[in-house]
Amino acid sequence: AEVLNASELRTGDAATVEVDVSNIGTESAGASVLGVALNGVALGNVAIGALGAGETTTVNVEFDAPPTGEYVLRLTPDAEDNVVESQEESQDYDLTVTVHPRMDLRHKGAPTVTVVEGALNGPWTVSGEIERFDGDGTVDVPMRLEVPNDNGETLMLGSFSVTVEGQGYAVSTWSTTIVPDDVIGLQRVAREVVAVIDPFGTASFVQESTTNDRSPPGNLDLLPIPDVQLDPPFPSPAEPSSGDAVLWYVGISNVGEIPVRGTLEYSFEGLDYEEPISLNAAENIMWRPENPLPTALGEHAAEFVVRYVPDVDSWDFDPDNSRATVTVQVSAPLRLAWNTPSLALVDASGAAASAPLTPGQSYTMSIGVTSVETGSVNYTCDDGGTTVFETVPVVIDTRGQRATVSCTFEAQTGQTAVRLVPDDVDVSSVYSRAYPSAAVLDDSISDEQRSLRGLLNWAGLLVLVLIGVLVLGVIITRDRDEEVERDIFEYCPSCDGELEGDEDRCPHCNFNLAKARLQFHDCRACGESIPDLMENCAYCGAPQDVASFFEQRKRIVRKEAVAIETPVVEEEDEDEIVSGTEDFAATVQAFGYGEDDLEEEWDENIDLAEAEVTQAQDRLDAMEVDFDAMTEEELEAWENSATPTLQATEDAFGGQDIDDIIAAKGDVQSLKDDGSELSASDAGIRERLFELTGEKGVLPGEKVRVDIGLTDSGLAGNEIEEATADFSFDDNTPLPKSTGGSDDADDELSPKRAKPKRRRSATRRRPSEAEETPAMAECGACGAEIPADATSCSVCGASFE
């Protein structure tokens, strides 16, 4: 048997084995079968026809080549024992079949993914290597990339081809690109990427094995792209009127892990704006324009459009959620303003009329109004009570139109009030006017009735006055102290300080009261001109905000000098004996001192101290310098110098040394050492020292009498005699009587006036240049005090030429 093309047999090839079957016997053999097995695995039987004695036939055994390796092909003649043979055993024939290795492709490691730094949206470059074993020539290998999607399935990316060439073992490097469109719609997370060889099985080559056609997974990082999102804007106010300024608020969020920057473009009422903006990672802000945006005139719908545009080197994942549009309805309500100068009053005949009015007569009051926007309003003309004169409609058809409101009324006795009240208080304010009426005499009333009526009127008036006094008394008694004080005094309208009433300038803030009394303003209720200092309108009684017409100042707190009582220093009585004994001489004599010696020592020390102080004072007085005659250099040199007022140590002890001091003592005697131990309490040595120095003292062992107020006999030591301190003294002089009005009485019990202390002359200081006080003048606009050469007022801002 022989394997055809045995040297080129590779895995998967159709192997053909040519087998010769012979009948070596002397008898003819009938038909039989040839058994075929490969490594013990039966591959089937091949039919063999009848063979005559000595006849040979050739058959082909075909099968697919197994994987690379060596195999044993066993051929068994007459496998089914159809022929009777002379030898039935050991007729198997084994043939070695060698399958040579076929070309095989595999990946050399996992693919690598690279991207430009900061390029969050790719493109990503994927590269790798493939190996070819037992191949020759050139072969094109089809490949593709696979990435898992969000549903757990496989997302197949674009296919590409890799060329491998060479003999035997060869390596080829491949590279491909993933573009943003390939991964659009995928969540921005880390994913695995796999390279596949011959994914569709359409290659023109056969591999040794296909189990290694998939590469190990590589890492594909899809980093989140920052997405700038805009919330719907909202205006403030939510319902603006025509001409109002609207402030828009927009919530802006950066949904990303890196900062972004760009431009916020917005438009409103046909005007375009833009403003740079930057957001940190995951930052949320509430943005608004720096200034409110004005609305156009008239009733209309205004559209506000805003969008975020990223810079060239910044990001925005979804531009659709980076813009917003909101429409706001701008209303144009009617607004009317009273034109007070156009007020007119006519009688029934149309002639101009003026106060006082005649009771019972009809009059017509008319006043003009100016309009903003269009609309209509109805005015009710009444007297402020229950009487309604008429209802006046006003219709404004065009913007800026002027109109006149007229009301006809009948004059009443005493005073007639006329009010124009709009049915919509937002359109205009209420206009009111009061007209006094003249008294009317009735001829049908007799003099007696008129006299009686007058008497009753006076009586009623008196009763009303008394009631008013009673009510006023109750109110006054209920007022707080500060209210009573305010009722008594007048107050400055600028600083609220108390006034006597006749000042021209406020003593607390220097406000010009004389000029303030000449200022007038129009009452907001009735339009009449009244002084600025009036708290209530004299025509309609409406309260006035007096403080709003004047500059508010702070009161100047004036410091008062308070006299501080200086405590009287009692002079110490030097002759007074506080403790001890009157016999000072005897007492100090017990301690080894003499009274005269002590007094002389004290007097010498006091004289020496006084002399030193006098010298220091003289030196200080000598330092007085005439600063006026000095130049600037001399003054600076004098100020930088310092001269002590006391005598220096060198001066005090100048010219003395230790030799001079020893020589002044005369002969110096010394005690010779006799070899005995010495101590400070040795009586002999102490006595010898007393002899040399001439001092007096107490020797050890000597009995001493001490009677200077020690009365405690329980103290240890020498014997102490009993003693009693006696503080009594003889004084028979009667005390002088005090005179209540005399300041010069010499009272021993009263403290004496302290002796004046020595006054040191003060060091003269450098005179300072006198500052000239600028001339002051009064501002003609607000009355403030300003420099005479000022070109403008620092209080009200008025300019002067």
Residues 93-111: tens digit of each pLDDT: 888 888 888 888 999 999 9
Location of structure tokens 């939510």: 238
Mind spelling out the 3-state secondary structure of 592-638? CCCHHHHHHHHHHHHHHHHHHHHHHHHHHHHCCCCHHHCCHHHHHHH
Cα–Cα distance list, 784 to 443, 491, 493, 777 (Å):
61, 18, 14, 8
Q: Could you count the other beta carbons within 10 Å of the beta carbon of residue 763?
A: 9
Question: How far is the C-alpha of 785 from the C-alpha of 515, rounded, in Å?
Answer: 13
Question: How far is the C-alpha of 59 from the C-alpha of 76, rounded, in Å?
Answer: 13
Q: Does domain 227-330 have CATH number 2.60.40.10?
A: yes
Question: How far is the C-alpha of 123 from the C-alpha of 181, rounded, in Å?
Answer: 9
What pLDDT, in 10s, does the model give residues 328-344? 999 888 889 999 999 99
Percentage of the chain beyond pLDDT 70 is 76
What's the mean pLDDT in 273-295?
93
CA-based nearest residue to 398, from 414, 376, 425: 376
460 pLDDT exceeds 50? yes
Question: How far is the C-alpha of 563 from the C-alpha of 167, rounded, in Å?
Answer: 123
82 pLDDT exceeds 90? no
β partners of residue 174: 128
- 153-174 in b/e form (b: 16+ CB < 10 A) is eebebeebebebeeeeebebeb
Please state whether the peptide bond connecting residue 289 to the residue before it is cis, i.e. omega within 30 degrees of 0. no
pLDDT classification of 450: cutoffs 50, 70, 90: low
Q: What is the CATH number of domain 2-99?
A: 2.60.40.10
By the 8 A CB rule, do 1 and 20 touch? yes
Question: How far is the C-alpha of 618 from the C-alpha of 647, rounded, in Å?
Answer: 12
Which residues, 6 or more positions from 460, have their beta carbon under 8 angstroms from its beta carbon?
none
Question: How far is the C-alpha of 236 from the C-alpha of 150, rounded, in Å?
Answer: 44
200 pLDDT exceeds 50? yes
**61: helix, coil or strand?**
strand
More confident residue, 675 or 385: 385
At residue 331, the pLDDT reads 87
Q: Which long-range contacts link 577-586 to residues 24+ away (Cβ below 8 Å)?
A: 577/727, 579/709, 579/725, 580/708, 580/709, 581/707, 581/708, 581/709
Question: How far is the C-alpha of 543 from the C-alpha of 655, rounded, in Å?
Answer: 96
What pLDDT, in 10s, does the model give residues 148-177? 988 888 888 888 999 999 888 999 999 999
What's the mean pLDDT in 684-711?
66
Question: What does 656-710 look like in DSSP terms, one character per residue?
Answer: --HHHHHHHT-S---PPP-SS---TT-HHHHHHHHHHH----PPTT------SS-
More confident residue, 405 or 562: 405
At residue 403, what is the residue type? Answer: A
β partners of residue 381: 390, 420
Location of structure tokens 């003048």: 777
What's the mean pLDDT in 16-32?
83
More confident residue, 405 or 670: 405
- 462-473 in b/e form (b: 16+ CB < 10 A) is eeeeeeeeeeee
pLDDT classification of 701: cutoffs 50, 70, 90: low
778 pLDDT exceeds 60? yes
Question: How far is the C-alpha of 40 from the C-alpha of 46, rounded, in Å?
Answer: 17
What pLDDT, in 10s, does the model give residues 218-237? 999 888 888 899 999 999 99
Cα–Cα distance list, 466 to 118, 237, 462, 469, 479 (Å):
95, 56, 6, 5, 20
At residue 194, the pLDDT reads 94
At residue 172, what is the residue type? Answer: S
Location of structure tokens 């803030």: 509
Written out in words, the top-level CATH class of the domain with range 335-436 is mainly beta
Question: How far is the C-alpha of 175 from the C-alpha of 576, rounded, in Å?
Answer: 122
Question: How far is the C-alpha of 38 from the C-alpha of 75, rounded, in Å?
Answer: 9
779 pLDDT exceeds 80? no
CA atoms within 13 A on the CB side of 262: 22
β partners of residue 196: 144, 214
Q: Rounded mean pLDDT of the chain?
A: 79
Q: The tokens of 431 are what?
A: 């206009």
Q: From edge to edge, which strands make up the β-sheet containing 362-372?
A: 335-347, 362-372, 402-410
Sign of CA dihedral 451, 457, 458, 463: positive
Dihedral of the CA atoms 376, 378, 379, 385 (nearest 10)? -150
Across 203-331, where does the E strand assignment appear?
A: 218-221, 227-230, 234-236, 245-255, 260-268, 271-279, 284-287, 293-294, 300-310, 323-330
- C-alpha 223 chain-centroid distance: 35
Q: Which of 483-497, 596-610, 719-733, 736-750 holds the top average pLDDT? A: 596-610
What's the mean pLDDT in 85-94?
78
Question: How far is the C-alpha of 427 from the C-alpha of 337, rounded, in Å?
Answer: 8
CA atoms within 13 A on the CB side of 143: 31
pLDDT classification of 674: cutoffs 50, 70, 90: low
- What burial class does residue 125 get, using C-beta atoms within 10 Å of its C-beta: 0-12 exposed, 13-18 middle, 19+ buried? middle
376 pLDDT exceeds 50? yes
Q: Are strands 93-99 and 112-114 parallel, antiparallel or unpaired?
A: unpaired
More confident residue, 657 or 58: 58
Question: How far is the C-alpha of 506 from the C-alpha of 785, rounded, in Å?
Answer: 12
Q: Does domain 104-221 have CATH number 3.40.50.261?
A: no
